[in-house]
Each structure stands twice: as C-alpha cells, then as structure tokens.
Amino acid sequence: MTFDVQALDAFVLVGSAVTLLAILAVRLSSRAGLPSLLVYLLMGVALGESGFGIGFEDAELAHALGFAALAVILAEGGLTSNWRELRPSMALGVSLATLGVAVSTAVVAGFGHLVLGLPWELAVLLAAVLAPTDAAAVFSVLRVVPLPGRVRGALEAESGLNDAPTVVLVTLIASGAVGEHPPVVVGAIIAGELALGVACGLAAGFGGAWVMRRAALPTAGLYPLAVLSLTFLGYGGATALHGSGFAAVYVAGLVLGSADLPHRAATRSFAEGVAWLAQIGLFVMLGLLLSPGRITLGTVGLALAVVLVLTVVARPASVGLSALVRPMPWNELAFVSWAGLRGAVPVVLATIPLSEGVDGAERLFDLVFVVIVVDTLLTGPTLPWAARVLRVASRSEPRDLDVEAAPLERVAADLLQVTISPRSRLHGVEVGELRLPHGASVSLVIRGDQTLVPERRTALRAGDDLLVVTPRKQREATERRLREVSRGGRLAQWLGPEGRGSRGR
C-alpha cells in the first residue's frame, strides 16, 4: 500500500477552498433567511458527478462520517444551550422527541403506503427518516429569530433529543429487526437505549464537571478541548454499552455547558467553530452522494406531496398531541408546528438503508433529498414572518450580560470579564450601587482604549468591559446579582430577577 502525497495535496487544496467558500456563504444564507445547509448541499451537488466530476458513492463511509458530524453538532447544541430556558420546556421537548416522532411516523407512513402506493417497508422508512427535526438547522436559524424562552427551549430540546430514538428506529427497520419483534418489544428496545444514553451523558457531564473544577490546566486553550472530549466520552461509553450515543453526547454537553466551569465563553466559541466545520463537511458530502440524474419529475411530485402532508397534517398532529404534557398558548404551538425544521439529519438517516442494501434505498435517498430542499425553501425564509404574524416574536433586545471566567487558583477565586451590552440597564449605574456579595469587587473598567480603576462613584457605561474578582463560593451569587442589575437597573432589588416588577403584589 502506497501513500499518494499528490492526492493528499489536492484534497487539502480543494477542501480548504470549499471550506472558505462555505464560510463566506453563511452571510448570504443568513440574509436570505435560509439555513446554511441548503447552500452546502448544493455546493456538494455542484462538486459531484454532474458538476466538477468528483465521484463519491460510498454509502457506508457517508453513514459513518455523517454520524460523527451529527455527534459534534449535538455536542455543540448542548454546550451552547441555556438550561434555565430549556428546563421549563424540557417536558414538551421530550414529548416531541418521542411521542411526536411516533405520531409523525404513523401519519406519513400511512400516507406513503395508502395514497402514494409505496411498499410498507419503504413507506415506514420514509416516515421515520423524515420525523426528526434537525439540530443544526434549528440552532442556526432560531437563534437569530427573537422568541420567548419557552418556545425556543422546546424547539432546541426537541431537535437535540429526537435524533436518538429515530436512529434506533430506522436502524431496526433497515436491518429487518422490526419484523422479528412485536411493537411493544421494539418500543422497549428504543426506550432502553435512550435511558442508557441519558445515563451515560449524565455521568460524563457531572463527572467531567467535577474533574474540570479541580484540574487547573496550564493554558486556557486546553479547557475547550477537554470539555468537548468529555462529551464524546459520553458518546463512546453509551455506544459501547449499546445505548444511544446521540442522547449521551447531547445530555453531556447540556450538563457541561450549564456547569460552573472556567472559560465557558471560550469553550462555547470553540464548540461553535468545530460544529460549523462538521456541518460544512457533512452537507457537502451528502450533496456529493446525490446523483441528480436519478431525480425525475415523478420524484419531485412525490416529494411535494410528502412535504404537504408532513407540514399540514403530520407536524401539527404530533405537536398537538405532544403538548398535552405541557400546554402552551395556541399561537406558540402553531409556531412550534411551523418551525419543525428538517435538514441534514433525514439525509444522514437515509444513508442507513443505503448501507444495509435495502431494496429501493436509492429511490428513498433521492426522495428524502428533494423533500429536504423543498421543506427548507418553504420553512426557513418564512420563520421571521410567522413569528410576527403569530405574535410570538420578542421585540426587545436581551438585557443580559456576556460573562467569561478564569480561575485564580492561589486565592480560590475567579476573575469574571463582563461585557455590558447596548441595552443593558447597567448603563449609568455607579459601582457602589451594584451591591455585590461580600468579597466580590470590580477591580478594573475597560472603556474603549482606556483602563480605569473604579471608585464607588464611577458610573458604568454601555460597551464597558468589567473585570470582577469574586470568591469561588460567591461566583454564582455575583453573576446573578450582575444579571439582575443588568435587567432591572438600580431598582433590581424591587423589580425582581427579570426586571419586570412583582405582579399581583
């Protein structure tokens, strides 16, 4: 076996050029209101056999690489999610990820077989593959749409958790194991793998947080690597025990992202960068796997029919039934229904039947690809409009703070770097009015190119960076107090933690 250096050089050249183009395309897709996945998929198609002629037909390799990329994306989703926003909506998110997937699968499978005339196996595979929402699409689009925390939390929790049961279901169907067991046993297998995955994720998250708090690493750059490695430790442990790796990696990321760890902002930024790289590689690869010559007008017609049923019937039914565990106003449920963004996950799942050699797997892959393109064009650009029409869009800019922390090991303290946002009510507040917990103090104010050693009467301004030293045991209380003043100003003590006042008192 010889190593082809020239081939490696060509791969580096093409790969770096495609990556740079994909990064620049993010701005274009953001302006158009489209998930970037659509641009990346089309780039893959353009590079493929019908474009520049790069051939790629290895379904097993696409399956393996796709799962690895999804694990990275889910880890980033957990690390960058806000547990305080997710917690009130977690019951609805779990319901959407389990009951919602089952309802959507049943509706689309029945339509595919009874109306479109697909064989039962292919109809059920199509329905199961299209049931989950896509974490990458949800995280990239919804975070630029101002939504109430409970709506955003429900959608993020759903997209982070629904990959796990769907992967198990599609794998069982494609391998023929579903026909060997009654539905109750299949449900028990799925539930068992999910429970084991969640347990492994919790173990990796809480255990990793305990270790990271006590391990003073020599450089800040090691913290993001260590945290991301811990999420994959959960993934690897779950898969080794035949549990759900996707559930494990998301739960581990969620625990670690919410833990009191050093350099949280740097860790989240690093995770976002790695996740973007995974998205680019994943979507371009899936575009390469497509053969446009196989797509006919009949395929497009079937795809349009499936999108119609999925959007108008299956998704509203799954949201309506799932919401029984956590009722929400009708307008918010309507938006959750419309915002069921599908992306690369269904296309990745469609590689499972391809790698298993299921009859009609190529037809299924092509159909799923067209469905995703149509669904993305329909849903992505209309989300801001739907949020305004349904009156779920938040008009005000968040008055929260960007807080970064670094450990001061010799004195058991933390150094917080606090950035005051333009809408923060910290603007105009004097340092003495902050009333930070005992032992915490503002040691430095950075204003433009100047540094100020503050006094009690020093007034803070929007755009300032504050360096706050706090004893480690008081860090949570210090951050909480800063956020309260940021939202409520000088009257935070009376307005409450959200800065809105105490209604009914």
DSSP-derived secondary structure letter, 425 = T
What's 402-495's CATH class?
alpha beta
CA 252, distance to chain mean position in Å, is: 13
Average pLDDT over residues 474-484: 86
User: In which residue are the tokens 């292919």 written?
Assistant: 122
Are 99 and 321 in contact by the 8 Å Cβ rule? The answer is yes
User: In which residue are the tokens 């049943």 written?
Assistant: 106
Average pLDDT over residues 411-432: 83
Provide, for the chain, the percentages of residues in helix, strand and coil under a 3-state DSSP scheme, each rounded to the nearest 5: 70, 5, 25
Average pLDDT over residues 171-177: 77
Kindly report the average pLDDT of the chain as a whole number: 81
* Least reliable range by pLDDT among 36-40, 259-263, 390-394, 436-440: 36-40
Q: What are the residue ranges of CATH 3.30.70.1450 in the chain?
A: 402-495
Q: What spatial distance separates the first Cα and last Cα of the chain, rounded to whole Å?
A: 78
* Least reliable range by pLDDT among 134-148, 283-297, 342-356: 134-148
Most confident of 35-44, 118-127, 173-182: 118-127
Read off the tokens for 133: 């929402």
pLDDT digits (tens, 9 = 90+) for 16-63: 877 787 777 766 665 555 566 777 777 787 777 666 767 777 778 888
H or E stretch at 442: strand 441-447
Read off the tokens for 274: 């790695």
Q: What are the residue ranges of CATH 1.20.1530.20 in the chain?
A: 5-389
Are 420 and 463 in contact by the 8 Å Cβ rule? The answer is yes
For the entire predicted model, the pTM comes to 0.74
CA distance 29 to 26: 5
> What's the confidence (pLDDT) of residue 313?
92
CA distance 468 to 456: 14
| Record: fold of 5-389 | Na+/H+ antiporter like fold (1.20.1530)
How many angstroms separate the Cα of 437 from the Cα of each of 407, 478, 480?
Answer: 18, 6, 10
> What's the confidence (pLDDT) of residue 450?
87
The radius of gyration of the chain's CA atoms, rounded to the nearest angstrom, is 24
> What's the confidence (pLDDT) of residue 4?
63
Read off the tokens for 95: 């319901």
> What's the confidence (pLDDT) of residue 494?
45
> What's the confidence (pLDDT) of residue 231?
94
CA distance 331 to 390: 5
> What's the confidence (pLDDT) of residue 357?
79
